[in-house]
Structure 1
Amino acid sequence: MVIMTQTPAAVVVHVAMFPWFAMGHIGPYLQIANKFAERGHRVSFFVPLKTKDKVKHLNLHPHLIHFIPITMPQVDGLPPGVETTADAAAHLAPLISVAFDSTQDQLSLSLQSLKPDVVFYDFSHWLPSLARPLGIKPVYFAMSSAVSHALLLVPSRKKQMTSVIDLREPPPGFPSSSSIMHQRPFEARDEIWFSSEFHGRMSFYDRLTSCIREGDAACFRACHEIEGPFCDYVSNQYDNKPVLLMGAVLPEATTTIKLEEKWEKWLGGFEKGSVVYCAFGSECELKKEQFQELVLGLELTGLPFLVRLSPPMGCKTVEEALPEGFEERVRGRGVVHGGWMQQQLILSHPSVGCFVSHSGPASIWEALVSDAQIVVVPYRGDQFVVAKFVAREIKIGVEVERREEDGWYTREDVCKVLKVVMDQGSQVGDQVRANHQKWKDFLLTPGLDKAYFDNFIIKLQDLINSK
């Protein structure tokens, strides 16, 4: 256990942050910025000009965290006003990448003016070459998990790259059995996106491996007790690159922000631990047929359920995508909502007994410190790896089964898993509940989260002071 009494030296660090232009990256970066500011450190936070207003409420220390606006360069084919992946359809992400890479001159001028001690980045593989000549330490801050990086983004993987990636076999020396491999790790579109050129530029794989290789260190939102062997493996694969761990960086418990009244009232109408909450992240766009199988599977359970999903492909609202007669059949016990929801507060509600997640790393951390059973239904990319880690390596949840040939899951598959984890006396349900409780107790150990981040800052200061 990493609990320490040592605190970071009282030296103010000036941190710059430049996340990929997606809300799923900007939000976690800002969460880390708040952790720095809590300890008195300065943060210069690069964010697209209009997006600043969307996230300023997340800045809990505006006297120390200063937003540096970035003007989105014009790119042919990218509609005016688009700044992040949340502003546009998924197929426009490569054009956002082109605009993102075209901000280099703005970043260069700002870094010369600001002169921070360190700059955190994720997709900008070119940033280290701008920062290092200015005496600024470039640090790769990963959005995905350490286990995903160990499995997917290591140099030994390059030898296995083909037109269709086969990741069924672990790379040499991988610190786990093949149990966390997935028969089909990616949708076909992800296989192409991962290994092929990204809109005429380097592939996603080459972009991220370059980010790791060129940084002075890599850091993960991770605990050594959970992902330590995978962190060590990444370090070894990149010539003993320093790997810094922040801990889980749990959301702050709050007594001032309350759950929206309509959801508090709705959830309050059900017994303790009886409600299934399902959410796949704000940028997850399912196929309509898969969306329908998912909600029909929830209906089949007979349990009350609350669903937060974006409208599926080809639909403007979730209501128009629902199966015929669905709303009438589930009225009073089932709700499908297309807007934003207070996930942390919903997961902590006594009525919620199960969380169906796309296995995004941030959602898994939130689920781990709740009492809700975990069911994972990965959607794309490294979520398939995280789902296998959750279900097979640390066994804190169960994954919905899929057909081998096409990755399809049915309503019966969804219903079956939910019955397994929700039924009292189920052997599988009892096992994941016990493992979940073990890691929840660990993560909520008094002082653990603070100790991890304090230790992270100490190591970061050592890096800054090194030549």
Structure 2
Amino acid sequence: MRSQFHAFMFPWFGFGHMTAFLHLANKLAEKGHKINFLLPKKALKQLEPLNLFPNSIVFHILTIPPVDGLPAGAETTADIPISLGSFLASAMDRTRNQVKEMVSNDKPDLIFFDFAHWIPEIAKEYGAKTVNYVTISAACVAISFVPGRSPDDLAVPPPGYPSSKVLLRGQETKSLSFLSYPFGDGTTFYERIITGLTNCDVISIRTCQEMEGKFCDFIERQCQRKVLLTGPMLSEQDNSKLLEEQWSQWLSRFKPGSVIYCALGSQIILEKNQFQELCLGMELTGLPFLVAVKPPKGVSTIQVALPEGFEERVKGRGVVWGGWVQQPLILAHPSIGCFVSHCGFGSMWEALVNDCQIVFIPHLAEQVFNTRLMSDELEVSVEVKREEIGWFSKERLSGAIRSVMDEDSELGNLVRRNHAKWKESLVKTGLMNDYVNKFIEALQELV
């Protein structure tokens, strides 16, 4: 067994994936392991400040080849609408020779990957072991990616699927139709993921046994691969890093636990009418709020898309911001009382380790599963119910927020109590370190 190993990391070109891989890289580097991190040039600026061990974690820039259909200069999911993801997957696949050359030169012991399903072939050629690092919930993987099962069967849980409330309902199965779509050259999204899960040496999942153990056991049986858990792999909070003054000053004007913070991730770009309904729903709560979302489709700035008269009506208590914000630091601010989120897996963990109430508006299929896990299984949050047109009304959004923010709300008190229990267990001294130590021990045995 080798005490120290050298690993390559090659995540999908989405910031939720790349930052999750980098958080893991930091934990490995902290224990003395060396990491080569492969990424597009455009991602470097955002990821470099998150590298806590620059002597041990070395970034390697990949040249992203042009692909017909992919806008010139696009290198990450932040550069494109979701509908162009297949072209970005083609570009990733066409970096294969670059990756192979790096592996040939550096001879890593391990290669971590997720969407690049061809990595196990390269690894075998050069004697490396592969780790498929899953950065979405185990519940989502357990029902969506079962070997020998068609994506069309998702309306019915697979045989042996654990007793659970984490299911899609009715029309929501249509939101997983993308599994059958082409995703890169000559492969569907489903084929890409299932190939990676069944060809790797081990599967690792960014979750904990306490929360998703039954789903992890199911994946292990179905894929016939050992499943290793990293724990929630939360970002290290740099206490020397302060919240930007404009937000610190603004939030401090309001009493503790009174402000709604809403963010929907880097990939979601709303239609203009959806964006306006979101703004009006926030206004309807009567509470102070900070909304941080990208400008809606077809407009260049947030301001031109705001509902008529909105800015004047919410002046002094509401801000809608189109740029990046320091989400972990905002969530930790004492004035924040409610987090309205799309329930991406990273945001889900950030919500759990803070004290605010949680309201979810899932947008993509994976987010629906995460929401079910949080709202139905763990009962720590509420989901905004959608209208039949597929989006929600301002009344439903404000109603969901008020249902957890009102002090005498039975539902609000239930989710607050459950949330407090989960937060306590997740931030418990030693829990995350125990997961990391066990994970590293298993990797050392593997190499």
Q: 1:263 aligns with which of 244, 247, 260?
A: 247
Shift in alpha-carbon separation, 1:219–1:299, aligned structure 2, 3 A? same
CA distance in 1: counterparts of 2:18 and 2:166, whole angstroms: 33
- 1:229 and 2:214 correspond: yes
Counterpart of 2:353 in structure 1: which amino acid?
Answer: V
Deviation at 1:24, TM superposition (A): 1.9
Q: Is the 8 A contact 1:219 1:245 kept in 2?
A: yes
Q: 1:305 aligns with which of 289, 298, 302?
A: 289
Counterpart of 1:394 in structure 2: which amino acid?
Answer: L
Which residue is equivalent to 2:313?
329
Which residue is equivalent to 2:194?
209
Deviation at 1:200, TM superposition (A): 5.5
Spell out, residue by residue over 1:220-258, the C-alpha distance to the aligned partner (whole angstroms, 9 max, x if none). 11010100000000111112x100100111222322000
Which residue is equivalent to 1:181?
168
Q: 1:127 aligns with which of 119, 126, 131?
A: 119
Counterpart of 2:322 in structure 1: which amino acid?
Answer: G
Q: How many residues align?
A: 447
**Higher deviation after alignment, 21-30 or 384-393:** 21-30
Quote the RMSD (CA, aligned, Å): 1.6
CA distance in 2: counterparts of 1:10 and 1:438, whole angstroms: 39
Which residue is equivalent to 1:40?
32
Which residue is equivalent to 1:90?
82
Structure 2 unaligned regions, length at least 5 = none
Q: 2:183 aligns with which of 182, 198, 209?
A: 198
CA distance in 2: counterparts of 1:35 and 1:151, whole angstroms: 29
CA distance in 2: counterparts of 1:41 and 1:106, whole angstroms: 23
- 1:251 and 2:235 correspond: yes
Instruction: Indicate the SS of the match to 2:418.
Output: helix
Q: 2:44 aligns with which of 24, 42, 52?
A: 52
CA distance in 2: counterparts of 1:10 and 1:445, whole angstroms: 30
Where do residues 65-464 of structure 1 align in structure 2 (5 Å cutoff)? 65-155=57-147, 157-158=149-150, 161-162=151-152, 167-178=154-165, 180-185=167-172, 190-198=175-183, 201-239=186-224, 241-403=225-387, 405-464=388-447
CA distance in 1: counterparts of 2:135 and 2:389, whole angstroms: 27
Structure 1 unaligned regions, length at least 5 = 1-8
Counterpart of 2:80 in structure 1: which amino acid?
Answer: A
Deviation at 1:86, TM superposition (A): 1.2
Spell out, residue by residue over 1:287-321, the C-alpha distance to the aligned partner (whole angstroms, 9 max, x if none). 22111111111110100001110111222122122
Spell out, residue by residue over 1:70-120, the C-alpha distance to the aligned partner (whole angstroms, 9 max, x if none). 111122232332211112333332211111101111111110111111000
Shift in alpha-carbon separation, 1:45–1:199, aligned structure 2, 3 A? closer
Deviation at 1:168, TM superposition (A): 3.6
Instruction: Indicate the SS of the match to 1:111.
Output: helix
Q: Is the 8 A contact 2:165 2:376 kept in 1?
A: no
Spell out, residue by residue over 1:184-205, the C-alpha distance to the aligned partner (whole angstroms, 9 max, x if none). 336x5x5442212235521111
Counterpart of 1:371 in structure 2: which amino acid?
Answer: D
Q: Is the 8 A contact 2:344 2:367 kept in 1?
A: yes
Q: Is the 8 A contact 1:180 1:393 kept in 2?
A: no
Shift in alpha-carbon separation, 1:156–1:398, aligned structure 2, 3 A? farther
Q: Is the 8 A contact 2:362 2:371 kept in 1?
A: yes
Q: Is the 8 A contact 2:2 2:444 kept in 1?
A: no
Counterpart of 1:387 in structure 2: which amino acid?
Answer: T
Shift in alpha-carbon separation, 1:271–1:157, aligned structure 2, 3 A? farther
Instruction: State the TM-score, normalized to the length of structure 2.
Output: 0.96
Query: Percent identity at matched positions?
Result: 46
Which residue is equivalent to 1:6?
none
Q: Is the 8 A contact 1:182 1:385 kept in 2?
A: no
**Higher deviation after alignment, 418-427 or 48-57:** 48-57
Deviation at 1:22, TM superposition (A): 1.7
Instruction: State the TM-score, normalized to the length of structure 1.
Output: 0.92
CA distance in 2: counterparts of 1:182 and 1:254, whole angstroms: 40
Instruction: Indicate the SS of the match to 1:155.
Output: coil
Which residue is equivalent to 1:24?
16
CA distance in 2: counterparts of 1:50 and 1:250, whole angstroms: 24
